[in-house]
Structure 1
Amino acid sequence: MTLAVRYTAARTLDTAPAVTVEPGPGEVLLAPAYVGICGTDLHIFHGDMDARVSVPAVLGHEMSGRVLKVGAGVTDWRAGDAVTVMPLHWDGTCPACLAGHQHICRQLDFIGIDSPGAMQQRWTVPADTLVRLPQSLALDRAALVEPTAVAVHDVGRAGVRAGERVVVVGGGPVGVLIALVARAAGAEVRVVELSAHRRKLAEELGLTTWDPAAGDVVEAVQEWSGGAGAEVAFEVSGAAGGVETAVEVLGARGRLCLVAIHSRPREVNLHRFFWRELTLVGARLYDRADFERAVELVADGTVPAERLISRVVPLAEAPAAFAALEGGGDVMKILLDCTDGTEGAAA
């Protein structure tokens, strides 16, 4: 019997038999290997997205796995292929799609939120969502391709250039990934993070961090930049204080990239935007080029995915894993192992 983890009510998950849907035309049946738990999954778990998800809901969109079976008309994939999924399905007809921005389609199906996700041992998805993985890439590491694609998209939206000073406010998984991708683009990077555990991990990856509780971050940026301020800031904390910091550290014509999901409106110092001619850009999701670049960065070790994985637990232990992440502490990324013992981590 194959299993699925389902969200049934606020802070409530259960395990149930996975419903295997045979792949129809243009579809592929996958055996997920590893699935990461992300911040959006936690938002759902808290009940914050009940108006959007259909209960019971199978969550999960950060994944790696293998093809089991292909449906009619699928010619590019075969059983055994190692893959990840770009979990977006768009209508192709709305104004955003017609303008080439399918990832922000007005009718976007974000797979794992709006439709069943990867926290199950059998998963059927459209074949055009698959992204090929190198045979040499371990599948546990490959589960971090999706959040790395987020970081690639964010750095691209902010227009980060070599030599620029970049401040990342929030040193969780996505914040650290943004810092790594920005560094790979040639930027000088600082990560602002309250958690000592997360700061330590970032520093072990060669990143410089600041503890906002230990000193004035704005003053630190002024000293670092010779009074010029940072060219780019990323708000990844989701906190009101993080927004304020991200705005205040920017120099003339600096760019603020908003990454975090803010569940309520925030006060923003618009006078600072006027006075310094700042730019605010939103960054949501990714496109296929971002995903393919993310595969490269994880595969070549630019993004040391294994260092971000705090633990790997069996799929059936998902409720405890969600509780551990909710409680904070010394946790960065937890992966759910969806295999039945016959699929190794290595491809």
Structure 2
Amino acid sequence: MRTVAYIGDRRLQVGDVESRQPGRGEVRIRVAYVGLCGTDLHIIHGSMDARVDTPLVFGHEMSGTIDAVGDDVDGWNVGEKVTVMPLDWDGTCPACLAGNEHICQNLDFIGIDSPGALQQLWNVPAHTLVRMPDGIPLDAAALVEPVAVAVHDVRRSELVADQKAVVIGGGPIGVLIAVVARHFGAEVAVIELDPARRAQVEGLGFRTLDPRSTDQVSWVEEWTGGAGADVVFEVSGAAAAVLGAPHLAKVRGTIVVVAIHPTPREVDLQRVFWRELRLLGARVYQRTDFETAVDLIGDGVIPTDLMISRIVSMEDTQAAFADVENGRAMKILVDVGTEGEAA
């Protein structure tokens, strides 16, 4: 079977390896599509070299069908459409014992800490499977994981209907957060530098702001009647955004750090102190976030046609990352399936 692996120094390698039967408690998935994301980009850039073992078959946004079922696996059958919640926790650490298994202190994030989905046949623990309804095509099903990220971010913020939220960054996750927040009843504005992305976001009915041409603090104050935003989501990963986010939030507002920052950032703690702001991290997701994400895609809430910019072959994965890095695409999917079917 073919795989795509990170081999270091920003290089990917397409190769062939032998597949294996699923072990006890595992299922084998015939992978259909894998989405490329910002975390993958951090891997390719070498930012996670201290964490990953190379060669690493990566990828964790995916869809596929069950190809084989291992011993001691109940409730799953060959041919079922699935995606994977790529978290494998130990169940014994203090975080797990406190009910926070999704951020286990010894978490195996599958696709980073262990082999991921960019392989045609992929063995995973059965407990990571999420069943997909027949009505969701497999290309759209590959978006469940990033939608679950957005659901978790919004849920973590405790945003409620009729509140105002600012999303800093109009990339894939920023757009999904905006869509989910609006679906939950909030009013949302998106700050984005790139004019093409702003146009896409505006096409979805959101207010947008170019911070290079408009003072974003004054704009948000006017939009909120002088109060500031109830919630600010920092999704851009830019140092300037982290420094500026506290100036967009209302008194006792909330800032949610969504982006992965590869180095420590300067934070305006004086402003955090002065306004009694909450500064929250939002790392991954929980099972309920995946279930909600499946429902949102199935109900047509998520603009899947906009989100999927294009589909590429495994051989074109390296070139596709150039567009991910330069913001020339929302979501690029890699067609891993040998049959290339969309549904």
TM-score scaled by structure 2?
0.98
AA matched with 2:290: F
AA matched with 1:331: A
**Bigger mean CA deviation after superposition, 29-38 or 315-324:** 315-324
- Counterpart residue number, 1:283: 282
Alignment of 1:232-247 (within 5 A): 232-247=231-246
- Counterpart residue number, 1:9: 8
SS state at 1:293 partner: helix
Question: Given that residues 20 and 124 in structure 1 are in contact (C-alpha distance below 8 angstroms), is that contact kept between their aligned partners in structure 2?
Answer: no
AA matched with 1:108: L
Q: 1:323 offset after TM fit, Å?
A: 2.4
Q: Does 2:115 match 1:107? A: no
Encode CA deviations 1:21-67: one digit per residue, 9 max, x unaligned.
Answer: 21011100001100000001000001111111110000100000000
- Counterpart residue number, 2:28: 29
Question: Given that residues 313 and 336 in structure 1 are in contact (C-alpha distance below 8 angstroms), is that contact kept between their aligned partners in structure 2?
Answer: yes
Counterpart-to-counterpart distance in 2, 1:198 and 1:157: 26
Q: Does 2:329 match 1:344? A: no
**Bigger mean CA deviation after superposition, 190-199 or 238-247:** 238-247
Structure 1 runs (4+) greater than 4 angstroms displaced: none
Question: Given that residues 197 and 329 in structure 1 are in contact (C-alpha distance below 8 angstroms), is that contact kept between their aligned partners in structure 2?
Answer: no
SS state at 1:265 partner: coil
**Bigger mean CA deviation after superposition, 196-205 or 168-177:** 196-205
Alignment of 1:58-77 (within 5 A): 58-77=57-76
AA matched with 1:322: F
Counterpart-to-counterpart distance in 2, 1:329 and 1:68: 35
AA matched with 1:247: P
Counterpart-to-counterpart distance in 1, 2:313 and 2:279: 41
Cα 1:19–1:213 change in 2 (3 A) is: farther
The gaps in structure 2 that reach 5 residues or longer are none
Counterpart-to-counterpart distance in 2, 1:208 and 1:146: 26
SS state at 1:29 partner: strand
Q: 1:256 offset after TM fit, Å?
A: 0.4
Pick aligned residue for 2:333 from 332, 335, 346: 335
AA matched with 1:166: A
Q: Does 2:137 match 1:138? A: yes
Q: 1:324 offset after TM fit, Å?
A: 2.5
Question: Given that residues 19 and 122 in structure 1 are in contact (C-alpha distance below 8 angstroms), is that contact kept between their aligned partners in structure 2?
Answer: no
AA matched with 1:345: A
Counterpart-to-counterpart distance in 1, 2:9 and 2:62: 23
Aligned length, in residue pairs: 343
Q: 1:329 offset after TM fit, Å?
A: 4.5
SS state at 1:52 partner: coil
Counterpart-to-counterpart distance in 2, 1:21 and 1:166: 47
Counterpart-to-counterpart distance in 2, 1:142 and 1:248: 37
**Bigger mean CA deviation after superposition, 243-252 or 146-155:** 243-252
Question: Given that residues 30 and 66 in structure 1 are in contact (C-alpha distance below 8 angstroms), is that contact kept between their aligned partners in structure 2?
Answer: yes
Counterpart-to-counterpart distance in 2, 1:19 and 1:205: 45
Q: 1:245 offset after TM fit, Å?
A: 2.6
Q: Does 2:274 match 1:253? A: no
Alignment of 1:31-70 (within 5 A): 31-70=30-69
AA matched with 1:325: V
Q: 1:196 offset after TM fit, Å?
A: 1.0
Question: Given that residues 237 and 261 in structure 2 are in contact (C-alpha distance below 8 angstroms), is that contact kept between their aligned partners in structure 1?
Answer: yes
AA matched with 2:307: L
SS state at 1:218 partner: helix
